[in-house]
Structure formats: C-alpha cells, structure tokens
Chain A
Amino acid sequence: MSSILFIALPLLFGFATPILSKFGKNGVVFTSTLMQVFLLYLAFTLVSNPEPYIEIISIAPPLGISFILTKASLFSVTLFTFLMVIFSLYYLVHRKTDAYQNETKFFILLNMLLASSIGLVLSSDIFNIYVFFEIAGISAYILTAYKKTPSALEAGLKYLLTGAVASVFLIFAIVLIYINIGSLNLAVISLSFDTLPYNVKVLISILLLIGFGFKVEIFPLNFWVSDVYEGSSSLVNALFSGIVVKAYLFVFFHILYLFLPSGEFSVFLIYLGTISMLVAEIAGLKQTNLKRLFAYSSLGQVALIFTAFALQNTDAIQGALFIAFAHSIAKMIIFLALTTIHKEYKSFDIEILKKLNSPFLRAIMLIAMLSLLGIPLFAGFVGKFLVLKSLAVEGILSVLIIIIIASLLEAVYYFKLVGFMFEKSEKKDILKIGFTQKLVFLLLAVLLLVVGMMPFVVSNFLLDGANVLLDSKEFVDMLGAK
C-alpha cells in the first residue's frame, strides 16, 4: 500500500489545509513538513530494502488505473520528497522574516506540486499522466504568479499559455492513441504501438514530442523558461528546476522507451538535445540577471540529461540519472542561496556577488557551481563522465564535441561568477544565516561531495533503475497485459 501514499498523502493534505489552518498560524507549516518527512522516511525504507522493489496498485488492465513503483521511479520519488523536505526546512526559517502572503494557499500548491510530480512518475496510464501533467502545470502557474506583481503575472501568463498549448497537443496524441489502439494502459499501448501504420506512428510521436517538448524545455520550445524564472520568486525556482522538469523528463522518456523500444527517433532526439544545450549556454553567456543566468544554465543541464536519455543505453541512462540528481541538489543550493542574498541585499544583479559578505555562502555556492560544471570529486562529474563515455563508445563524435564546447561555455560564465564572488572589493555587512538554513546548505553540499567522491554509494541503485527503465518487456510483464 505504500506507493499510493506518496500521491495520496500530499493530495489529501492539500485538501485538508483549510481545516488545519484553523489550528493557528503554524499548524499548516509544521504538519506539512512533518508529513513530508514521513514520506521521505518511507522512501528511504524502500530504498534500503535489498529486495528488488516492484509494487503495483491497479484494477486489472486493460481497464484499470495503475501506479507502478520500480527502482527507476523510486529514485525520482525519493529525490522529489527529499528536495521538498529541504525546501520546507528552509522555508521554516525564511517565513519568520519574509513569509508568503496567505501561507495556507502556498502550502496547498506546494503539496499539489509534490503529489502531481510523484503521480507523473508512478502512473502507468496515459490519461492519468495527462491529469497529473495538468495538476503539476496549474500549481506551477499559480506559484509563478503568486506575488501578483506585473512581472510575476507576465511570467505566469507566459507559462500558462505555453502549458495550455502543450496540453492540447498531448490530448491530441492521447485521442489518436485511443482511437487506434483502444486502450490507455501504457503496457497495452507498448505491445501494439509497433504494429500501427507508419504515418500514424510518426504523427503520434510528433504530437507527444511537441506536448512534452514545452515542458521538458527543449529548443525551440523553451523560449518561455528564462522569463518564467526571472518573473517568479527565486524560492519557487528551486522547485521548478529541481522537481518539475525532472518529473516531466522522466515520464517523457519512460513513455518513449515503452512505445519505441528500438529507438527509431533516437538520433533526432540526440541532436535536438545537443543543439538545445549549445543554444542555452550561448544565451547564458551575456546574462546579467542571476536568476536568468541560472535559468539558462538549467536549460543547458536539462538538455544534457535529455541527450543522455535519448542515447537509449544503460550507461547513458545511469549517467542521466546521476546528472539529474546532482543538478537538482546543486540548483536547490543555488536558488536557496539566491533567496538568502536577495532577502538582505534586494537585488538579483550579477554585480551583487562582488559585495557578498558571507564566507559560508560563498563556499557552498562554489561547491554547487563546481558540481554543475562537472569537476572531478563533485557529484556532477560522475554523470557527465558516464554520458561522454557512452557517446564515445557509440562513436557519435560530433555530439561529443558539441557537448564539450557547451560545457566550456558554461565554465566561462560560472568562473566569471566565482571571480565576482572572490573579488576583493567593498563588501556589505556580514550576511546572517539562520542555524537551520546553514544545516540545510551543509547537508546538500556534503551530499554533493560524498556522491562525487564515492559514486559507488548510489551507482548500483541507479544502474538498476536504468535497467528497469529501459526494459519495456519487463514492464509489460509486470503489468500483466497480454
């Protein structure tokens, strides 16, 4: 019964918040954090279980709705709950001075975001995926526009318009799938997708690519991302680049591996991802707003994960999961640090780093940036190395070279930031950081270092995840659709 809890508890909590808010001002915040900690505990007990973990909750296919928890989805679930717990712990301190207006609503949205991201990962029914796709979208739109300033609303509108167009294309794909196959269950579709006429197959694939392309932030459908990051608050950005994109990426490739196990379009997708990465890093070079700059860096990293997933072999997928892990944690550090900086100095301009007076924060941000760049001994290195290795093994050298060039471009602006941080110039007053927040930052940084120095701690788990993700036959067997 445990996998359903990951969706049911946050959803239930979202609906119960109005009642909980009757128990005083702190009621919602603390119960919500406690609930998330419980979910994290649950996830860890599942991870530490040595038995291969597969759990299916379903009404018998081809009729039923089913959630399926494999090692691959367990990785995402653990990552998302961990990030959400970290976010809540940070917010517990942040709210003392800078609380969101109308916190009850804020917590409904947070829990909806968590529930729908986990739901996306666990669903094995394409219409359920559409429903969670929309719930995640709606909570993200409202979180973007939450402050109701003109720029926040502008960002929210842009996000909502692109999201609505994406969902139209996704519905179109689902309609075509149902008309042609007569089922919504991923396993049943997986069995008969190959037998469809070539034109229909291509049409459905293109519609799915457009629908998910907006959400997984792939060039040329990613024009909205930097605006959304700039318009929304940096606190929420941490969730967007840590949780939401990762959930969409995971489910997109889960669907792709199931529908097209032989990888007909993988070359096209590899080049799409590589071009996205290059474009994002080039655009990132000339940014002067920190949020915008890190938005472009997120785009670059997500495109790298996209390329790695598109390679469709175990090593590359293991690498992709590694990068997803390292990127989520590093971006969490960066955006939470930006929130702390903005609270004191009221600016997101790149020059503000010169005046940053906090050795602790500088060290933590340095670790996060080095990990994002993929320097050895940091978690980002392992993933990048695995991806580049499997590119070399496959012999796709043009992609390899473009990725290295894009990484160098990324290094250019990251080292510019590092230079700003350690420049000897007039500093402001020392930045005060709460104890819990320091602990949160330390925990994340130590995690990056530990995984970077001892990748074997998680690599077996990720390898199993990659194998499960890639094996479409086993998935069909698991759901018992014959």
Chain B
Amino acid sequence: MFEFFNQPEVIKTIVTIGSMALFFVGLFGLLTQKHLIKIFMSIAIMETALFLLFIGLMYKKSFLAPILSDGQTGFTNMNDPIPHAMILTAIVIGMAVLALGVSFAIEYYKLTGKTNIDEMTSLRH
C-alpha cells in the first residue's frame, strides 16, 4: 500500500502541496497577527516552508549522499549538494535575523511595554 507513496512524482506532489500550505499559513499569520513575536513566528514559518520545498524537490531517492568515500570515485548517482549547502546557509542567516528581531522586540517591550504593532505609532505624524 505504501509503495504508492514511494513514487518520485507522488513524493514531489506531496512536498509541493505541503510546503506551499505551510507557506500560506505563514503568510496568513504575517498579514493577520498583531503581536510582534507572532509576526516573527509567521516569517520563520514562511522561510521553513521554502527550505522544505527546495530540499524536498531536489532530493532524489536511491541517490547517495555527495561524499567521496567507500570506493566512490566519481560524482555519479549522487544527490546535488548545492541545495543542502544553500539551505544550511539560509537557515543560519534566517536564525540570526530572527534572533536580532526578537531581541529588538524584547528591548522595545522593556522600554515601552508595547507588543502590538498597531500601537507602534510614535513615528507617525
């Protein structure tokens, strides 16, 4: 029964639909939520959805990890290493931005007691 899910096309369809659903969950949160931390969470969810989409689509089943060892000499039958390297970098950067944002939010809360973006109005004239 589970053989059906092992077909590459089916896996790719599931990955695409799932990650796009996750992306729109994040987008919905970004547009509707007012709490600063929740907005940061929404952005993180959107990013994660893209990472999943990329890794899921570029992964080829029954291909090896791209490491030259154990008698492997050529780059045949290997998964493409670039998406993994890219996503690792992107995760680190996304994490740094998120941490910076949360630290700004905490400092801002300490100074003013506000967490709602609709109340951030001291710069509007």
Interface residues in chain A, defined as those with a beta carbon under 8 Å from any beta carbon in chain B: 127, 130-131, 134, 137-138, 141-142, 145, 148-151, 153-158, 160-161, 163-165, 167-168, 171-172, 174-175, 178-179, 182, 184, 226-227, 230-231, 287-289, 292
Given A150-B108, A154-B123, A157-B120, verify A165-B43 contact (CB < 8 Å). Answer: yes
Interface residue B1 (Cβ < 8 Å from any Cβ of A): no
Given A150-B122, A171-B47, A172-B50, verify A161-B100 contact (CB < 8 Å). Answer: no
Across-interface contacts of B46 in A (CB, < 8 A): 168
Say yes or no: A131 contacts B89, CB within 8 Å. yes
Say yes or no: A157 contacts B36, CB within 8 Å. yes
Residue of B nearest to A156 (CB): B104
Say yes or no: B50 contacts A142, CB within 8 Å. no
Residue of B nearest to A171 (CB): B50
Residue of B nearest to A179 (CB): B57
Q: Could you tell me which residues of chain B, from 13 to 46, have a CB within 8 Å of some CB in chain A?
A: 30, 36, 39-40, 43, 46
Given A179-B58, A184-B82, A227-B124, verify A165-B30 contact (CB < 8 Å). Answer: yes
- Over the window 57-96 of chain B, the binary record of Cβ atoms lying under 8 Å from chain A Cβ atoms (1 yes, 0 no) is 1100000000000000000000010110010011001101
Q: Could you tell me which residues of chain B, from 84 to 119, have a CB within 8 Å of some CB in chain A?
A: 86, 89-90, 93-94, 96-98, 100-101, 104-105, 107-108, 111-112, 117
**Number of B interface residues, CB 8 Å?**
37
Say yes or no: B50 contacts A150, CB within 8 Å. no
Say yes or no: A157 contacts B90, CB within 8 Å. no
Say yes or no: A154 contacts B120, CB within 8 Å. yes
Say yes or no: A171 contacts B83, CB within 8 Å. no
Across-interface contacts of B40 in A (CB, < 8 A): 164
Say yes or no: A150 contacts B111, CB within 8 Å. yes
Residue in B30, B58, B101 whose CB lies within 8 Å of A157: B101
Say yes or no: A164 contacts B108, CB within 8 Å. no
Across-interface contacts of A164 in B (CB, < 8 A): 40, 43, 97-98, 101
User: In whole angstroms, what is the CA distance A131 to B53 when docked?
Assistant: 20
Say yes or no: B120 contacts A158, CB within 8 Å. yes
Residue in A161, A178, A287 whose CB lies within 8 Å of B54: A178
Residue of A nearest to B90 (CB): A171
Question: Which secondary structure dominates chain B's binding surface?
Answer: helix
Q: How far is the CB of B84 from chain A (nearest CB, A)?
A: 12
Say yes or no: B36 contacts A230, CB within 8 Å. no
- B30, B98, B107, B117 — which one has the most chain A CB atoms within 10 A of its CB? B107
Residue in A151, A161, A171, A226 whose CB lies within 8 Å of B122: A151
Across-interface contacts of B94 in A (CB, < 8 A): 167
Residue of A nearest to B53 (CB): A175
Residue of A nearest to B30 (CB): A165
Give 5 nearest A-B pairs by CB, closest first: A227-B123, A153-B108, A175-B54, A134-B93, A160-B101
Given A131-B93, A158-B120, A160-B104, verify A153-B111 contact (CB < 8 Å). Answer: yes
Given A156-B104, A168-B43, A171-B90, verify A138-B97 contact (CB < 8 Å). Answer: yes
Say yes or no: A157 contacts B104, CB within 8 Å. yes
User: In whole angstroms, what is the CA distance A184 to B89 when docked?
Assistant: 14
Across-interface contacts of B120 in A (CB, < 8 A): 154, 157-158
Across-interface contacts of A130 in B (CB, < 8 A): 90
Say yes or no: A154 contacts B54, CB within 8 Å. no
Q: How far is the CB of B125 from chain A (nearest CB, A)?
A: 7
Q: How far is the CB of A139 from chain B (nearest CB, A)?
A: 11
Across-interface contacts of A150 in B (CB, < 8 A): 108, 111-112, 122
Residue of A nearest to B122 (CB): A151
Residue of A nearest to B112 (CB): A150
Other A-B contacts than A130-B90, A157-B108, 10 sampled, CB-CB below 8 A, are A145-B107, A154-B120, A154-B122, A157-B105, A168-B50, A171-B47, A172-B50, A175-B50, A179-B58, A226-B123
